[in-house]
Structure 1
Amino acid sequence: MMEKPPIEPPRLPKDVTRHVGYVLKRAQAALRGAMDGVLRQHGLTVPQYATLELLALSPGMSNADLARATFVTRQSGNVVLRGLQEAGLIARPAVADHGRARPAHLTEEGRTRLAAVQAAVYAVERRMVEAIPPERVAALLADLDRMAAALEE
């Protein structure tokens, strides 16, 4: 049986604006800018909105879990949680039942605010995704997951 020759790594374009990382960052920056615009109208930031979405999906998450899931430091996550709590959008116990974690939950006002903003945020994502053929969305998501996993190893 013949051995296959090694696969050569792809050659990067000389123009950095055509590198995958650059284009990916440009898309992320455009998404963030569009989300900032719609969230500002609802008095929320992207980390606050992401926290509300995650707590709707998984009530009781800790600050550390939320910080990891929203891509901020624990310190920044704590600032986000305090702001949401002061706004009446989440509730956390004053003291932890055990350890240091104080599980967070959406309040009724938090659920209402999240519902009010979701349509606007989802419209931003829909506008972005509609720029590519529908049959390529699943492959794009799978490729992005693989790229993230390759860098997390």
Structure 2
Amino acid sequence: MSQEPAFRPVDEQVGYVLKKAASSLRAAMDKALRPLDLTVSQYACLELLRQQPGLSGSELARAMFVSRQSMNLVLKGLERRELLTRSPVPRHGKALPTELSPAGLAKLAAANEAVSVVEETMLAALTPEAERRMCADLTAFAAALTDLAGEEDPD
């Protein structure tokens, strides 16, 4: 006789809990960024450009796990609002380097304050050691799944 596999309740399954946490984080960040007229994707783009000025649209798309077309829409919107600048001269090939404008830096500073409140709230119950461990575990999860899928490391 075959036995039915034992399944844990959905709220005890890591994948479900991780998705629930990610959805809650996204909703909280959306709410925090709304008064600044930024989306989470726009915020992430600005932060990536602060950390790595000169990235191309393709490099940003890879770093944000979105298509080049989606990234291009984000970049055009931020450029229209004068939050970033794109060089008219490619540094190599067709890639146009992108950098934050002074207005983009100011907007990002305000956004970082808003997002830090969200993150502090989310992590309030964790010790610094537990937070480091969680980051290490999540990084290991991502690496394991990337290997399983046979894809390149998304970073």
Query: What fraction of aligned residue pairs are identical, expressed as a percent?
Result: 48
Is structure 2 residue 57 aligned with structure 1 residue 63? yes
Q: How many positions carry a matched residue from both structures?
A: 143
Q: Which structure has the greater CA radius of gyration?
A: 1
Deviation at 1:135, TM superposition (A): 2.7
Distance change in 2, residues 1:12/1:151 (3 Å): farther
TM-score normalised over the length of structure 1: 0.88
Is structure 2 residue 15 aligned with structure 1 residue 24? no
TM-score normalised over the length of structure 2: 0.87
5 Å matches for 1:1-153?
13-153=7-147
Deviation at 1:101, TM superposition (A): 0.6
Say if 1:90 and 1:107, in contact at 8 Å, map to a contact too: yes
Say if 2:91 and 2:97, in contact at 8 Å, map to a contact too: no
Name stretches of at least 5 consecutive residues in structure 2 with no aligned partner. 148-155
Distance change in 2, residues 1:151/1:76 (3 Å): same
**Quick one: distance in 1 between partners of 2:117 and 2:62?**
25
1:143 partner letter: D
SS in 2 for 1:66: helix
Q: Report the equivalent of 2:153.
A: none
Deviation readout 1:46-80 (Å, 9 max, x if unpaired): 01000000100000001111112122111100100
Deviation at 1:146, TM superposition (A): 0.4
Name stretches of at least 5 consecutive residues in structure 1 with no aligned partner. 1-10
